[in-house]
Amino acid sequence: MLPDLTFYSHWRSLAAYRVRVALALKGIAHKVVTIDISTGEHRRESFLAINPQGVIPALGLPDGTVLSQSLAILEYLDEIRPRPPLLPQEPAARARVRSLALIHAADVHPLLVPRVRARLSQQASIDDGAWKHWAHGALLPAMQAMEALLANSPSTGRFCHGDAVTLADIGLSSQWVAMALFGCDTAAFPTASRICASLGTINAFAQAHPLRQPDAPGAARGEAQ
């Protein structure tokens, strides 16, 4: 019997998107609690009592444990519901998949979150144009690296690692979603583009898109973080 999970989420969160994809891929039942990061709900005492880091996603377990950090949550979900697996079996393959996922989750995404934007606005008075420039500067070199890693490896298949979806695809697709929302040109990334087109045909990925969430306002394009 699977636990009754509580998923703290918000439509515009790319980290929540990663968890949403995995929950859907694995068909794991959960309830969603929306924490509105655009109004600062994640910084209120009520949410800090759930996740003292004041970020989403978080995943509440029935015994009161709360998990945070999207990749840790993805691995937890993979352990409680091993099918379909999000990691290959072989150690070097597992490391390759994790490293591809971490490029966006660990190195790029942290530069694009609301608290960074707020600091840049307060301390460097950046406007929307400068924020977009900042985001492109974070996203494009990382995608260049991902493209090289994917295009030059015999391990790359229909997806990032072979022909089954892994954590690497969830990481790549969250970066791809970010690039679309920030209006990045993707022409220089044919391998990533091919893989993301394949991922887009999978319901779990398509339905998880920030702009398809019920709490996303109609005019939200360009705001997901």
Whether the CB-CB separation of 71 and 105 falls below 8 Å is answered with yes
Q: Does 172 bind ligand GSH (CB under 6 A)?
A: no
What letter would DSSP give residue 162?
B
81 contacts: CB under 8 Å, gap ≥ 6: 2, 26, 27, 28
Site mask for ligand GSH (CB under 6 A), range 102-141, x = bound: ---x-------xxx--------------------------
Q: Does 142 bind ligand GSH (CB under 6 A)?
A: no
Q: Does 50 bind ligand GSH (CB under 6 A)?
A: no
Task: For Cα atoms 50, 173, 103, give the angle at the middle one, nearest 5 degrees.
Answer: 75
SS3 127: coil
Task: For Cα atoms 57, 59, 60, give the angle at the middle one, nearest 5 degrees.
Answer: 140
Q: Does 225 bind ligand GSH (CB under 6 A)?
A: yes
Neighbour-count burial for 29-43, b at 16+ CB within 10 Å, e otherwise: ebebebbebeeebbe
Q: Does 70 bind ligand GSH (CB under 6 A)?
A: yes
Q: Does 69 bind ligand GSH (CB under 6 A)?
A: yes
Site mask for ligand GSH (CB under 6 A), range 7-26, x = bound: ------xxx-----------
Q: Does 55 bind ligand GSH (CB under 6 A)?
A: yes
Q: Which of 20, 26, 30, 42 binds ligand GSH (CB under 6 A)?
A: 42
Q: How many residues bind ligand GSH (CB under 6 A)?
A: 15
Q: Does 175 bind ligand GSH (CB under 6 A)?
A: no
- The residue type at 148: A
Nearer to ligand GSH, 90 or 212 (CB): 212
- Could you give the CA distance from residue 200 to residue 132 in angstroms, rounded to a whole number? 25
- The footprint of ligand GSH (CB under 6 A) covers 13-15, 37, 42, 55-57, 69-70, 105, 113-115, 225
